[in-house]
Amino acid sequence: MIDFLSLNIITFVSTLVFLGLWFIFSSNRKWNIVLGLLFFISLAFNLGVNYLFSIGPLKYFYFSKNLLLIGFFGMVFNWVKHNKIALFIAVAASIVLSFPLFNLPIPITLIPEDIHQMMEEGELIIEINEDQLNDVQKLIEPYDGKIVKAFHPDKANEFLNRFYIVDLPSEQAHAASKLLQQLEDESIILYGEYNDEISITPIESNQKIKEDRDYGTNDPLAEKQWAMNNLNFHQLHGLIINNKDKIKKKVVVAVLDTGIDAQHEDLKTAVHPDFQNVKDPVGHGTHCAGIVAAITNNKKGISSMAFYDDLIEIQPIKVLNSFGFGTQAQIINGMIEAVDNGADVLSLSLGGLSDNYKQRAYSAAVAYANDQNRIVVVSAGNSSGNASDYSPANVDGVICVAATNETNQMANFSNHIDDIDWGIAAPGVNILSTYKNNSYKALNGTSMAAPFVASTAALIKAFYPDIQSHEFYELIRFTAIPSNDEAFCPILQPASALELLLDGWESSR
């Protein structure tokens, strides 16, 4: 069955081909009419694919991006239309280029102004010493800019306290790159980067889910959760039951996302009492939360790794707005908030292309979490590229998660983790989980893979609260199985990890 990503690009390329042929045969009246009709039919199919299978308001932005690319190539075709050879070359080149261009993030210019205003203001994140503050203020005065403290951790942290947000008025926002260059050229900052816009990119699954499985729980939708078999939930639940007396604590997992439908029938008792009024207008955060800790054996919905209700508690941290967009500063502040609120594990199913390989602001936030014995899990990204080009996937100290399919192969949309120090893979195709408005839905994405690892981290911490991030990664990497293709893609095996730990792996090291 073709998934959304494949269907989206097939209809997009078909539209592009018919557009090119329309230009090539423009002098032939009959073919001109036929190819013009085929172009608009293909465009309508692409709109339908985006509307039916992408989630929430993001569907409009995905189609807008496709339309922007088609418009760009149309201008190129029009420019060379009088030279048939050049036109043929342009059409062929557009098809080849459309594949890498198709995976680019949604341009901020496509986001309506009222939605953009819902994001945190501030174009730049800079790192300075306190004695440099006056120099920065003087330099940004001609731009009518403001500078404010970026982060406010509860625990004193010299690294995080050096970061500031530079906010320019909307009419000066275009000057952000020039200002950053000035700040760097005059050496009045230690480091600077853009306050990147972040969006989520999961896709609704159109694949039929087999219903012939029995995983030993009474949740009616468990038979549709193929990941329970690949991750050996049956053995995992058995280990939890047989070793219940060894559980040391209830572990808090912070889901940094679009919020959570805290009143969902399969999540309500798993969500921290202080967050019972949280909503999720998009559905993405609710989906991730269900993978982490949907209530199991309650004769409702789906199952999760959390066999007992007192194993994992979910803490929703809203870092993305009602349209699934946010900024780097919002995410970092969310990470700090999660740590300060006592979360043991941070699950981030989000990210974007890095504009700076150093990523010092993210690194400071991850170090703040790791130093307090918190495990940070992030998704690798859905662009079929290299996760090392995406943040926070490429930040030292995070566990970066790629996605696999039912046959234990790397998902075609998943970013690769070859160059990631702490890389692992987990199921991310056709994953059924909780969704907004007390419903259930199957989605695709590394967004779905990361919560499986976050849930595993929570279970391990329930038995061994003091386990450090590097120790946890060593454990899951040691017990992982290889994927069934040539990709570097060690696949998570939570039951094997917990069994090895219970057998004394920690004390034998």
Which residues on neighbouring strands pair with residue 434, listed in sequence order? Answer: 440
Note if 433 is an active site residue: no
DSSP per-residue letters across 372-389: TT-EEEEE--SSSSBGGG
Digit-coded pLDDT (tens) for 295-348: 999 999 999 999 998 899 999 999 998 878 888 999 999 999 999 999 999 999
**H or E, element range at 352:** strand 352-353
Note if 257 is an active site residue: yes
Digit-coded pLDDT (tens) for 388-433: 999 999 999 999 999 999 999 999 999 999 999 999 999 999 999 9
Computed over every residue of the chain, the mean pLDDT equals 87
The CATH code for residues 121-194 is 3.30.70
Q: What pLDDT band is residue 380 in, cutting at 50, 70 and 90?
A: very high
Note if 152 is an active site residue: no
What order of strands is seen across the sheet that includes strand 124-127? 146-149, 163-167, 124-127, 191-194
- Catalytic residue, from 257, 261, 266, 280: name it: 257
Question: What residues contact 42, with CB distance under 8 A and at least 6 apart?
Answer: 11, 14, 15, 18
Digit-coded pLDDT (tens) for 121-144: 688 999 998 888 899 999 999 988
- Catalytic residue, from 54, 199, 205, 447: name it: 447
pLDDT reading at 59 higher than 80: no
Per the listing, tokens 């998943």 go with 414
Q: How far apart are CA 186 and CA 31, in angstroms?
A: 61
pLDDT reading at 250 higher than 70: yes
pLDDT reading at 9 higher than 60: yes
| 416 in Cβ contact with 488 (< 8 Å) | yes
Q: How far apart are CA 399 and CA 423, in angstroms?
A: 6
**Cis, peptide link before residue 316, omega less than 30° from 0:** no
The answer to whether domain 228-503 has CATH 3.40.50.200 is yes
* pTM (two decimals): 0.81
| 262 in Cβ contact with 278 (< 8 Å) | yes
Digit-coded pLDDT (tens) for 481-491: 999 888 889 99
Domain ranges of the chain: 4-102, 121-194, 228-503
Other CB atoms within 10 A of residue 246 CB? 12
pLDDT reading at 152 higher than 70: yes
pLDDT reading at 361 higher than 70: yes
| 55 in Cβ contact with 443 (< 8 Å) | yes
Q: How far apart are CA 429 and CA 3, in angstroms?
A: 9
pLDDT reading at 209 higher than 60: yes
| 226 in Cβ contact with 210 (< 8 Å) | yes
- Catalytic residue, from 116, 237, 264, 284: name it: 284
In the chain, what percentage of residues exceed pLDDT 70?
Answer: 88
Mean pLDDT for 427-445 is: 94
pLDDT reading at 289 higher than 90: yes
**H or E, element range at 32:** helix 29-53
| 487 in Cβ contact with 380 (< 8 Å) | no
Digit-coded pLDDT (tens) for 81-124: 888 888 888 888 888 887 776 655 555 444 454 444 434 568 89
Pick the range with the lowest mean pLDDT from 38-52, 357-371, 463-477. 38-52
